[in-house]
């Protein structure tokens, strides 16, 4: 087989099988659990774990309990890496089952992360990530200082999104970044239309004024003609009446 291989799909199966076990799994020193039958030496535990999690960089034990001795050795730099023991497919190299692990300074897997000696270190790493996220949210909202203020401003933004377009904001696949990009595209289109208006949809101001003057002139002419016709009709009527009263 060309190499060992694990991905999210394989990890899901491995985690399910692993966490179905009742006993916690050992981390020993230099794989002594495997060698004890050969060299007759004891295989003391460096720590125990019972839960796994898949992340982009690999498979991790997330509830590690180190012994006091192992903690001192890790923090003192005497041990640096974890070496897992696992079953794998002989042709494809796909990892099938995690058996246990060991502290070692010469792991078979290159590129392993350094082992964390304590839960405190893991919490610090998670806290650092949360602080980075909080700083980015503060920059994005441009005002909040505390976590509560960040939550308040985020809720305002959520309510505004739902109020402006409920059909979009309540969709399961709603994506804020995609929505912002869509709005930016609409704004750019409107700006372009305002900068380059369609001449067919507009007339020059001078033309409009000329038309207004012409309409006013025609209206005045119509009124004057109507007045003249009325005067002419009145004179004709008067003449007819006079004629009709003349003696035979």
Q: What is the pLDDT along the chain (248 residues), one digit of tens a residue?
A: 778 899 999 999 999 999 999 999 999 999 999 999 899 999 999 999 999 999 888 888 888 899 999 989 988 889 999 889 999 999 999 999 999 999 998 888 777 777 765 444 444 444 545 666 677 777 776 766 677 777 777 778 777 777 776 666 566 566 666 767 777 777 777 777 767 666 666 667 777 788 888 888 888 777 777 766 666 656 665 555 555 555 55
How far is 105 from 74, CA to CA, in rounded Å? Answer: 11
Three-state DSSP at 142 gives: coil
Which residue, among 93, 97, 115, has the nearest Cα to 47 in the 3D structure?
A: 115
Residue 123's pLDDT is: 43
Residue 14's pLDDT is: 95
The pTM of this model reads: 0.48
Residue 13's pLDDT is: 95
Say if CB 218 and CB 226 are below 8 A apart: no
Residue 213's pLDDT is: 87
The tokens describing 41, both together, are: 């030496």
Residue 6's pLDDT is: 92
Domain boundaries of the chain, sorted by first residue: 8-117, 124-195, 199-227
Per-residue exposure over 65-88, b if at least 16 CB sit within 10 Å of its own CB, e if not = bbeeebeebbeeeebeebbbbeeb
How far is 192 from 197, CA to CA, in rounded Å? Answer: 8
Tell me how far CA of residue 209 lies from CA of 105, 125, 217, in angstroms. 90, 73, 12
Three-state DSSP at 95 gives: strand
How far is 202 from 193, CA to CA, in rounded Å? Answer: 13
Residue 32's pLDDT is: 94
Length of the chain: 248
């Amino acid at each position: 087989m060309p190499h060992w291989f694990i991905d999210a799909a394989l990890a899901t199966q491995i985690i399910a099988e692993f966490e179905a076990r009742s006993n916690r799994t050992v981390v020993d020193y230099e794989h002594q659990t495997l060698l004890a039958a050969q060299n007759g030496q004891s295989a003391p535990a460096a720590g125990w774990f019972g839960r796994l999690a898949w992340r982009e960089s690999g498979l991790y034990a997330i509830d590690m309990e180190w012994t006091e001795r192992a903690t001192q050795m890790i923090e003192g730099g005497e041990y640096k890496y974890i070496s897992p023991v696992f079953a794998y497919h002989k042709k494809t190299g796909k990892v099938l089952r995690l058996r246990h692990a060991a502290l070692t300074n010469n792991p078979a897997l290159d590129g392993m992360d350094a082992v964390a000696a304590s839960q405190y270190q893991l919490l610090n790493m998670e806290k650092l990530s949360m602080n980075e996220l909080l700083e980015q949210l503060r920059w994005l909202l441009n005002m909040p200082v505390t976590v509560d203020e960040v939550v308040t401003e985020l809720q305002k933004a959520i309510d505004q999104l739902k109020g402006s377009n409920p059909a979009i904001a309540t969709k399961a696949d709603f994506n804020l970044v995609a929505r912002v990009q869509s709005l930016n595209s609409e704004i750019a289109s409107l700006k372009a239309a305002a900068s380059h208006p369609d001449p067919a949809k507009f007339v020059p101001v001078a033309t409009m004024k000329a038309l207004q003057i012409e309409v006013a002139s025609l209206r005045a002419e119509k009124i004057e003609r109507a007045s003249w016709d009325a005067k002419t009709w009145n004179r004709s009527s008067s003449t007819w009446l006079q004629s009709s009263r003349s003696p035979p």
